[in-house]
Amino acid sequence: MNKNIKNWLFIGATVAFMTSCDSQLNVLPTASIDESEALSNSQAVEVTLTGAYDALSSTNLYGGAIQYSGDLLGDESEVRFAGTFTTLDEMWRKTFTTTNGQTQATWLAGYNTINIANNVLSALDKVDAAKKNTVEGEARFIRGLVYFDLVRLWAKAWGDGDANANLGIPLVTTPTRGVTDADFRPRATVAAIYAQVIEDLTKAETLLPNVPAYNVDEQFGFASKGAAQAILARVYLQQSNYAAARDAANRVIQGAQFSLEDSFDAVFSDATNDGEIIFQITVSDQDGANNMNLYYAPSTYQGRGDIRVQTKHLNLYPADDPRGIFFVRASGNTFTAKFLDQFGDVPVVRLAEMYLIRAEANLRLGTTTGATPLADVNLIRNRAGATPLATVTINDVLAERKFELAFEGQQIHDAKRIKKNVGTLPFSDNKLVIPIPQREIDTNKSLIQNPGY
């Protein structure tokens, strides 16, 4: 299955057929085909799965919005949003309106992707036996990944009150092919969403091969065993389940399917990155879009230059850390150098994060599974060209995450899991949770709005 087949007209029809997602909008698809055609045989189901990847790569999801939402929402005046889009400005200022068009678009794109995955999972009996495990694993990976990031953005964080009582997001695991009253689902609890995420990713890990059998230039744009393990490591870390986070990260590292690049800057160039990215959104000049480039890069690199790095962030880096100069200057402003290629692939998760998760979890538990925390942290520092540490503390690991993963979408989630203020706002402030789109609330009377909106 080659990613280019997502341009087939069949995909357009299939995705349109499935777009009556659980966004709770009572709008029927403008184009449709009969289910008996859409999911009638193995090839049709496989093409539909490719449509799920296409949906996942939307700029409203992992083509940019999931990542910049996490960073703008978690920003503490380390960047400045200087663009004209009020939707992103609200995110950066933590002044959301319930009619914010960008958050609504991300919600809709998320549930559209989940619905396509649900359609694939509903038709596994049509898939050729030799491909069935892989198809199910990929669909479960996609669904688990999306549910994880939606619940992190639209609900109280794990550990902020009772996850068994806090409202998460609607949980839908069967296809929505026409909107009826039965499709107006209430919000499941945060705990229920996390349970589904873990179930999907755990199952995906058991079903998927180590590396997908696609073209080598595209393989990291598809789910693999390592990708499922890596997102599981994130999930468990978010829950402060350090033993499970450590072990999942260790499985990725010990699997030896991925390797650190020789230099930090090589990670962010498609020409030199050939092994560190565990899962990415593949972009080319014919297909896909990179909204990280759009917002984070200046016009000299085809971006808008809306997100500008401030001195407060630059001052965080020690003088001996070359990551502190991995920036570019244009028109008197500073920009991260991570997203300078308009057609660059968008990283979702990479191996360096796994070493840092293993280091933090081992340190908190007093264990040395895989390696000592000091060895893991220094591995990442050495690759970056920073001076190795003689000893390591939790604060050192958290600082290393900040330096290594800056502008990759983890800022708000790290703040919430360690219960750290975001500027003057406590980690539990309602302003740090995105409101349910008003259009959803107006249509689905079963939905309850987040506090404070």
Q: Over the stretch 279-296, which tens digit does the pLDDT of each residue have?
A: 999 998 888 899 999 999
Query: What pLDDT, on the 0 to 100 scale, is given for residue 16?
Result: 38
Query: What pLDDT, on the 0 to 100 scale, is given for residue 35?
Result: 55
Q: Residue 61: CB partners within 8 Å, gap ≥ 6?
A: 55, 106, 109, 110, 113, 146
How many angstroms separate the CA atoms of 242 and 226, rounded? 18
Tokens representing 139? 């669909």
pLDDT digits 0-9 by tens, 98-117 = 999 999 999 999 999 999 99
Closest CA to 159 of 428, 357, 395, 430: 428
The band of 7, judged by pLDDT with boundaries at 50, 70 and 90, is very low
Please state the rounded mean pLDDT for residues 242-267. Answer: 96
CB 101 within 8 A of CB 87: yes
pLDDT digits 0-9 by tens, 123-150 = 999 999 999 999 999 999 999 999 999 9
174-181 own/partner pairs: CB under 8 Å, 24+ apart: 174/118, 174/122, 175/18, 175/115, 175/118, 175/119, 175/122, 176/20, 176/21, 176/22, 176/115, 176/118, 177/17, 177/18, 177/20, 177/35, 178/20, 178/28, 179/20, 179/24, 179/25, 179/26, 179/27, 179/28
CB 104 within 8 A of CB 154: no
Whether residue 379 has pLDDT greater than 60: yes
Q: Where are the domains of the chain?
A: 3-421
Query: What pLDDT, on the 0 to 100 scale, is given for residue 176?
Result: 87
Using the Cα atoms of residue 168, residue 174, residue 179 and residue 180 in order, give the sign of their dihedral: negative
Q: What is the pTM of this model?
A: 0.92
Please state the rounded mean pLDDT for residues 418-430. Answer: 98
Query: For residue 296, with 0-12 CB atoms within 10 Å meaning exposed, 13-18 middle and 19 or more buried, which class applies?
Result: buried
Tokens representing 21? 């997602």
Query: What pLDDT, on the 0 to 100 scale, is given for residue 2?
Result: 34
Task: Work out the widest C-alpha separation in the chain, in whole angstroms.
Answer: 64
Whether residue 191 has pLDDT greater than 50: yes
pLDDT digits 0-9 by tens, 41-82 = 999 999 999 999 999 999 999 999 999 999 999 999 999 999
pLDDT digits 0-9 by tens, 196-244 = 999 999 999 999 998 655 544 556 799 999 999 999 999 999 999 999 9
pLDDT digits 0-9 by tens, 316-365 = 999 999 999 999 999 999 999 999 999 999 999 999 999 999 999 999 99
Q: Residue 310: CB partners within 8 Å, gap ≥ 6?
A: 77, 78, 79, 80, 334
Query: What pLDDT, on the 0 to 100 scale, is given for residue 256?
Result: 87
3-state helix vs strand vs coil in the chain, percent to 5:
50, 5, 45
* Residue 35 or residue 396, greater confidence: 396
Query: What pLDDT, on the 0 to 100 scale, is given for residue 389?
Result: 98
Query: For residue 65, with 0-12 CB atoms within 10 Å meaning exposed, 13-18 middle and 19 or more buried, which class applies?
Result: buried
Computed over every residue of the chain, the mean pLDDT equals 91
Structural fold of domain 3-421: 1.25.40
Please state the rounded mean pLDDT for residues 154-175. Answer: 97
CB 387 within 8 A of CB 47: no
Whether residue 33 has pLDDT greater than 90: no
Query: Residue 52 belongs to what H/E stretch?
Result: helix 42-56
Q: Where are the beta strands (DSSP E) in 222-345?
A: 277-281, 307-309, 327-330, 333-336
How many angstroms separate the CA atoms of 256 and 12, rounded? 37
What are the two backbone dihedrals, phi and then psi, of residue 206, each rounded to the nearest 5 degrees? -75, -25
Query: What pLDDT, on the 0 to 100 scale, is given for residue 19?
Result: 40
Query: What pLDDT, on the 0 to 100 scale, is given for residue 86?
Result: 98
Q: Which residues of 328-348 are buried (b: 16+ CB within 10 A; e: fewer)?
A: beeeebbbbbbbbbebbbbbb
